[in-house]
Each structure stands twice: as C-alpha cells, then as structure tokens.
Amino acid sequence: MQIYRLPALSDNYIFLLHDADRQIAAVVDPAEASSVLQQLQQLGASLVAIFNTHHHGDHVGGNTQLLKAFPQATVYGGIEDRGRIPGQHVFLREGDRVMFADRSAEVLFVPGHTQAHIAYYFAPVQSDEPGDLFCGDTLFAGGCGRLFEGTPTQMVQSLSKLRSLPDQTRVWCAHEYTLKNLQFALTVDRQNSDLQSRFETVKAMRRRGEATIPSLLADEKRTNPFLRWDQPVLQAAVNSDDPVRTFARLRGMKDQF
C-alpha cells in the first residue's frame, strides 16, 4: 500500500492509498475532488473506497464529485455521523475493521473534536515496519483538534487510545499545523530538549516548503503537550494535578494562542 499526500484548500492534506497490483485506490478525508481525480488519472487507478473520519466539510467536501466519477466506490464513516457524510454506505463502530490492499485497519472511536469522530489504524505488515494512523482532526503533529462537539474527558480518552499505539506508528493527520503547534508547546514545556530540537527541524522544513506530515508517534509522545497531560512539568504549567483539567487548561490556552 503506497500512500500519497495531496495538499488541498489552504492547509489540508488528503491521503490517497494505492494498491499497484490491482490498480485500485482509496482516499482518506477528501476535502476536494480535483487533486484526487488528478492523482488517480496519473496512477491509472480506480477509486474503490472513501474513508472519512468525521463530517466536517473540509474532510468530506469531495465525496459527491468523487462518487459521480466512481459510483462503485464505498463511503465509510462513523455510525454516529449518519446523515452528515455525503454518500455514506458503511457505518463504523469502535473495533470494526476495514480492508484495503490486503491490509486491515482497526476503527477507533475518538470523540472530542466531534462527537462521532473515528480514526483508522493500519498495523504494520512486518514487525520492523511502521503502522499507519489516519486520525483526521483528533491528533495533530504537535497538537490536537479543537473541541467543537466533545468534552475534555472524551478527548483525553480518545488521545489515550492513540497514545497507546506503537511508537513506530506514522501519524497522518489532516492539517499542516505543526509549526504553530510547536510554537505553542514551547510556551508550556520550554525546557523540553526534544521539543526544542523538533521545533528547529520543523522550522527549517517549513522554510523549505516541505510537509511535516506524517509525524512519528514516538516524537508526539515526547513533544506534544496534548499527549503529556500526566507529566508534572505540564501540570505545573497550568497549576493542576488532574489529567483532564490539565488537558482542558492547555487546550483553552491553545485556543487563545
């Protein structure tokens, strides 16, 4: 399974999964259709699946046009997004599995950004290979999604699921927010040498116009404050020893950053 990262809108990423043996493809969170159709044409591949993480327009905006071009494609989304994802055929729950290119992805229910948000985790084929996590707007490189519909408790529970995945998991999040996220992280975790180093690396990458996605979950565990709500340095930064309250205060500070 080859993964293509397609820039879209102002800062979105669409992910195209390609099975070269069968010349079929799947797409994750198509914000728009044009870049997907162009990539499919270049590959000579047919679209067979659309994997949506949640109902927001910058994640499902291309569904309708893609279905017009490939009416046989199956649209997947969370069961609680019923009626909100264009063309949805399959309604997924926690623990369900989806298949593509002989790889199986586990469906994770991760509410917080929205009430119905899901993620797709493709475990590695070989033990020395990375897994692939498509997490929409739940976990970002260096950050996490805003709480539009869910609660801090839900988001901590959701991020805990993602944090428990193997360190060598590639995090394919849907926005290029990394530099701004790390700038905020330094305001609450300024003595973190791993964070300082990552910030300098990302700053150089963005200066060269390079994408910072995917990130590696091991790096997120060391540098992302929204996966470190149980660390004393972060709790001290927001004057709380309660994990959920620590997360909520960090998220509130980021909202105003």
List the CATH number of the domain containing 68.
Answer: 3.60.15.10
Query: Collapsing DSSP states into helix, strand and coil, what is residue 52?
Result: coil
Is residue 60 over pLDDT 90? yes
Annotated binding residue 18: no
What pLDDT score does 180 carry?
Answer: 98
What pLDDT score does 151 carry?
Answer: 97
Number of C-beta neighbours around residue 41 at 10 A:
10
Q: Which amino acid is at 46?
A: S
pLDDT bin (cut points 50, 70, 90) of residue 127 is confident
Tens of pLDDT, residue by residue over 136-187, are 999 999 999 999 999 999 999 999 999 999 999 999 999 999 999 999 999 9
Catalytic: which of 54, 55, 96, 117?
54
Cβ atoms of 29 and 7 closer than 8 Å: no
- Catalytic site residue 18? no
Annotated binding residue 175: yes
- CA 20, CA 76: separation in Å to the nearest integer? 22
How many domains, in total, are found in the chain? 1
Tens of pLDDT, residue by residue over 70-115, are 999 999 999 999 999 999 999 999 999 999 998 999 999 999 999 9
Tell me how far CA of residue 32 lies from CA of 73, 106, 140, in angstroms.
16, 25, 20
Least confident of 21-25, 125-129, 253-257: 125-129
What pLDDT score does 126 carry?
Answer: 87
Q: Which domain holds residue 249?
A: 2-255
Is residue 192 over pLDDT 90? yes
Cβ atoms of 94 and 36 closer than 8 Å: no
DSSP for residue 114 = S
- Its sign, for the CA torsion 199, 200, 206, 209, is negative
Annotated binding residue 19: no
Query: Collapsing DSSP states into helix, strand and coil, what is residue 102?
Result: coil
